[in-house]
Amino acid sequence: MAAPDHIDLQITGMHCASCSARLEKTLNKLPGVSAVVNIATEKASITFDPQLSDVERLIAAVRDTGFDAHPARDFAAEKAARAQAYRGELLQFGIAVLLTLPLLLEMLLMFFGIHLMMPGWLQWLLATPVQFWAGSRFYSGAWSALRSGGSNMDVLVALGTSAAYFMSCAVVALQLDQPLYFEASATLITLVLLGKLLEARAKGKASAALEALINLQPKLAHVERNGQMLDVSAGQLRPDEVFFVRPGESVPVDGEVLEGTSSLDESMLTGESLPQSKQPADKIYTATLNQHGLLKCRALAVGSHTQLAAIIRLVEQAQGSKAPIQKLADKISGIFVPVVLVIAALTFAAWWALGGEFTTALINAVSVLVIACPCALGLATPTAVVVATGRAAHAGILVKDAAALENAHKLSVLVLDKTGTLTEGKPALTDLLPADGIAQKLASSSTKQVFPHLNPLDKTTSHSTRLQTTAAKSLVIPQAGEEANVKINFRSFELLQIAASLAQNSTHPLSRALLEHAQSQQIAPTPTQNFSERSGSGVHATIGDASYLLGSPAFIAQSGVDLDNAQLRALQQQGKSVIAVARGDMLLGLIAFADQLRDSSRAAVAKLHDMGIRVIMLSGDNTATAQAIAAQAGIKEFRAEVLPQDKAAVVQTFKTEGNLVGMVGDGINDAPALAAADVGFAMKSGSDIALEAADLTLMRNDLMSVVDAISLSRATLRKIRQNLFFAFAYNILGIPLAAAGMLNPVIAGAAMAMSSVSVVSNALLLKRWQPPGKQS
């Protein structure tokens, strides 16, 4: 089976939710096709089997349904096309207003006691261009819908205005003694056109955040070619090419600093207001602003491969997705128009049968047709999602789809991985504690052959002589968050040498921290044989002809090694992670690490508690260490000694208890748990696998971003519920009033035109949302 293809089609001709629902149903009937049609973005996101369908067939299906389509172009091209269409509609509306005003003048003058009767033929002359030229879109839309076996808003408008128009034509042609309703039909069409213009303008503002992201992309880059400095288009930069960023300029592509130091404003990507210092070997990203200092850089990712381009794609993807709450509106929109047509027919029949007045019955039926508005229902959810995902990107939160945005507001349990989420994820070695008698334990010939520079302490050689013998400089251990200031003795040096040799082939964070410290002391690891690693527990390897172990105290104890439990507990109660080193069944020593809590972690946990969310920490550390870290962060519940492969099972356990569970992590071993959670949050500093598994990516490596994401989700759902309430209430109240003869068709048409505008405008208020993390 061939790999599925994906394409986004830009759709034209959709006027309401019934249109998008009908088109989506048609596309999903095609073999091997899965489609989502979004009325707010006017796009169809389609995944299809290339062996069963192709782009031409998809476009043909769209056209058969009564719409038109083309593969989505870049944002600028689509914006230019929409602007051109808007200008044409604005001209059409302007002419319709000029032709309709004289018809309205007669009605307006009546309020002042002036009765001016315009000849019927003149009213017909003014109303006809409005009906069939300005209103042509409603006729073509209605015909397309009916031809494909559906119905939409165009059917209601075309039917309602045609009834008023043709009845008036009959009165004029037959010279009947009946009132004319040319002003009603012309005014209805003009008001609906006004509503569509306002709606289009508001929908354009909804995607302003995406446009702002696109506009961030710099146009020029300063490159060095053949020894000359040239200004070239940023799109022409190639990977590994050297470029320069001057003070006050934006970075043209993702790269790495080669020379120079500066501070960069990365707020446009991460939402972090504080400038980030940059020096050689640091990564820099497209569109971030260089505040001072000239930077010489090497291009790493260009064009569509930059982080900014990835953010833009993710925002577009999220804006085109559907929230689960929209399903109700979609179902109602699918049957809305037929139900309204039935209500209008019953209204006409009832009024004619009971009142005997054909004109009154017809006008009341027209009022029912024109006040009903499926547009407001269809726009209630997607416009809020479009605004919210754009606002999220501005705050450094990337939303994969609308479902994640909706589900985040219902979270009752949030599971936090300790390392890299609550903490900085950069453990530092703080204690090297050799076991008593380590010098004698290492005095065997086999160890001397492998580590010839390791000379056991004796009574005749001084400590300083031993260090000179090893060619090592003063060996120091930094305390967590402090400058290194503690010199270690020769036995500690021996312990570090062996531990670094065992850790060199491990990917565990503590192994990396151990190696970094050894390198800082100019200690090179010795090659090992028969290396094996138990994930999250420890490693075993042979050095020379001796067998060594490095790992958690539990791992070492399982191998029959006696531990110094008093010393071990003392370190763990300080919140430190401890590993042990052993040779055979002999303990060589303990090594402790501290991973600092992020500055914002405690405040973020407090806010999560205030939001009614139960926070649980997962840690691979023992109970004492996990308890100490949890206490520092203000967390009441934690799970200790959780192996990487068991994290997903813990998440699943909470889900089976009836909770909606969120998971925050950053590592490869967090990916299964992130995927198992109802909503997964991944730190941007984490692995690509974790980012892929997560539903929301946090561009700031800050737990407060989770608070922001949940807050935005709650604000978005409030707006969606408000919009759905307005849309339902408007139709539930408006249709009965029109059927009861209490609404003039012109008033009904004005209300219909404004209903969708009010829904979109209410969604735009989400732009006022501010991250709680910045307010604190």
Find the DSSP H helices in 111-181. Answer: 120-129, 136-147, 153-174
Our CA angle for 29, 32, 37, nearest 5°, is 55
Sign of CA dihedral 694, 697, 702, 703: negative
Backbone φ, ψ for residue 579 (5° rounding): -125, 160
User: Which pair of structure tokens corresponds to residue 302?
Assistant: 């260009």
Bridge partner list, 521? none
Q: Are 539 and 532 in contact (CB under 8 A)?
A: yes
Location of structure tokens 């799970």: 639
Could you give the strand order of the β-sheet that contains 262-265, starting from the edge strand earlier in sequence? 276-278, 262-265, 289-292
Q: Are 181 and 167 in contact (CB under 8 A)?
A: yes
Burial bucket for residue 173 (CB in 10 Å: 0-12, 13-18, 19+) = exposed
**b/e 188-197 (16+ beta carbons within 10 angstroms → b):** bbbbbbbbbb
Nearest to 163 by CA among 195, 206, 131: 131
Helix (H), strand (E), coil (C) string for 219-243: CEEEEEECCEEEEEEHHHCCCCCEE
Question: How many residues belong to the chain?
Answer: 776
Residues 6+ apart with CB under 8 A from 692: 671
- Cα radius of gyration (the chain): 35
Q: What is the DSSP letter of 75?
A: H
Give the residue numbers annotated as catalytic, written as ranges.
417
Helix (H), strand (E), coil (C) string for 275-339: CEEECCCCEECCCCEEEECCEEEEEEECHHHCHHHHHHHHHHHHHHCCCCCHHHHHHHHHHHHHH
Bridge partner list, 547? 542
Burial bucket for residue 741 (CB in 10 Å: 0-12, 13-18, 19+) = middle
Q: Are 18 and 153 in contact (CB under 8 A)?
A: yes
User: Which pair of structure tokens corresponds to residue 328?
Assistant: 């109700």
Q: Are 11 and 369 in contact (CB under 8 A)?
A: no
